[in-house]
Amino acid sequence: MAALLGVGAVAVFSQPGMLSARIGVLIDSGEQLIRARGQERIKPGDRLRIYVQPEEACHVYIVHTDHKTVTLLGTFEETSPSAQVVLPGLSEFYEVDGESPTETFTIICSTVKLNDISALFNSKVTYKSWAAMEEKLLKQGKIDLSQNPDKPSPIAGNVRELTGSNKDDSLIRGLPIYSGNAILVKRYEFDIKK
């Protein structure tokens, strides 16, 4: 196993079947630009942009729900390693209208095409059917950390610069790296304060 460890960073392990990606949501509140946490409070008029940068070639799906309607915002088939997916675009944002008390974005990266997602969105999708699929995908991508290693792996190091990253985009470089077991699911839930 290979690992990467830096000051204030988390170890990222490369194992067969593992999938890793830098994922984040940028919030523009008009006053400042901040990176969103998994759960965040935002207000009507705030603007959001989604960033995904897979470490390996994969399929990327981005889904939005307000717990009433469900929308597939984008499907990106077989992205190349380190390709950047930015929604709605580099100079565009999604604007929060404040009509719903909660807005949720789910980012899914998978080593294989997920035909279940395509089938679900080719029919009239309900929040209940999406929630069941999302839960199934979350369980599928969960990493079992209780496994005993074949042999001990010493880990040490200091990262000064990641090669292969876009040096011009400090936001992408600063995004956390998430990992999953062949499927990676990251969910951002925003509570809207009125």
Q: What is the pLDDT of residues 161-191, one digit of tens each?
A: 444 444 335 666 788 888 888 899 999 999 9
What tokens were used for 130?
Answer: 């999406």
How high is the pLDDT of residue 12?
A: 43
C-alpha 84: how far from chain center: 12
Write down the domain spans for the chain: 14-145+171-192
CA distance 93 to 42: 14
> Model-level pTM?
0.78
CA distance 51 to 95: 16
How high is the pLDDT of residue 73?
A: 93
Q: Which residue has the tokens 């889904």?
A: 63
In this structure, the strands spanning 33-35 and 47-54 are unpaired
What tokens were used for 3?
Answer: 């690992």
CA distance 193 to 22: 28
Which regions in the chain score pLDDT beneath 70? Answer: 1-16, 144-172
How high is the pLDDT of residue 41?
A: 92
- Name the CATH topology of 14-145+171-192: Coagulation Factor XIII; Chain A, domain 1 (2.70.50)
How high is the pLDDT of residue 150?
A: 62
Is the CB of residue 73 less than 8 Å from the CB of residue 67?
no
Q: In the chain, what is the greatest distance between 2 CA atoms, to the nearest angstrom? A: 54
Q: Which residues pair with 61 in a beta bridge?
A: 75, 108
> What is the dihedral sign for C-alpha 58, 59, 62, 67?
negative
